[in-house]
């Protein structure tokens, strides 16, 4: 099973600034997923990150706001840009080692508060 190290675990940021979240996986995986979880809500997929290509964003999420890097098969970053209080959420990365729709492994999450 994949082990994912996600950091930071939490941060408090000023509005208008940006935060980059990192995820490191202990094995090579084709796809990594970035989710947002607003307070008391379920997970919403932001984008799917493939190595060597542009990330695929879900409806309602754009690259300018959530740029993603995927430089190799074990690492990805998500940046939350020009933050506002509405961006306060938990952000999670995950991988599905067995392919789409199989058991997902998650990082510990990043709890972001924008003030």
Partner 1 sequence: SQQGEEDPQALSIQEGENATMNCSYKTSINNLQWYRQNSGRGLVHLILIRSNEREKHSGRLRVTLDTSKKSSSLLITASRAADTASYFCATAPTGGFKTIFGAGTRLFVKA
Rounded least distance, CB 81 to partner 1, Å: 23
Rounded least distance, CB 54 to partner 1, Å: 16
Tokens of 99: 């392919």
Using the minimum distance from each CB to partner 1, give the nearer residue, 36 or 74: 36
Tokens of 41: 């809500």
Using the minimum distance from each CB to partner 1, give the nearer residue, 82 or 113: 113
Using the minimum distance from each CB to partner 1, give the nearer residue, 9 or 82: 9
- Binding site residues, partner 1, CB under 8 A: 4, 6, 33, 37, 41-43, 45, 48, 90, 92, 94, 96, 100-109, 111
Rounded least distance, CB 76 to partner 1, Å: 15
Rounded least distance, CB 106 to partner 1, Å: 4
Q: What angle do CA 3, 9, 12 make, to 5 degrees?
A: 160
């Amino acid at each position: 099973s994949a082990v994912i190290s996600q950091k930071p675990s939490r941060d408090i940021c000023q509005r208008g600034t940006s935060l980059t979240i990192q995820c490191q996986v202990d094995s090579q995986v084709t796809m990594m997923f970035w989710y947002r979880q607003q307070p008391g809500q379920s997970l919403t997929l932001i984008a799917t990150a493939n190595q060597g290509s542009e990330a695929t964003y879900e409806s309602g999420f754009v690259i300018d706001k959530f740029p993603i890097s995927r430089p190799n098969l074990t690492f990805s970053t998500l940046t939350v840009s020009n933050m506002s209080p509405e961006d306060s959420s938990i952000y999670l990365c995950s991988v599905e080692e067995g392919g789409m729709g199989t058991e997902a492994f998650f990082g510990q999450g990043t709890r972001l508060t924008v003030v």
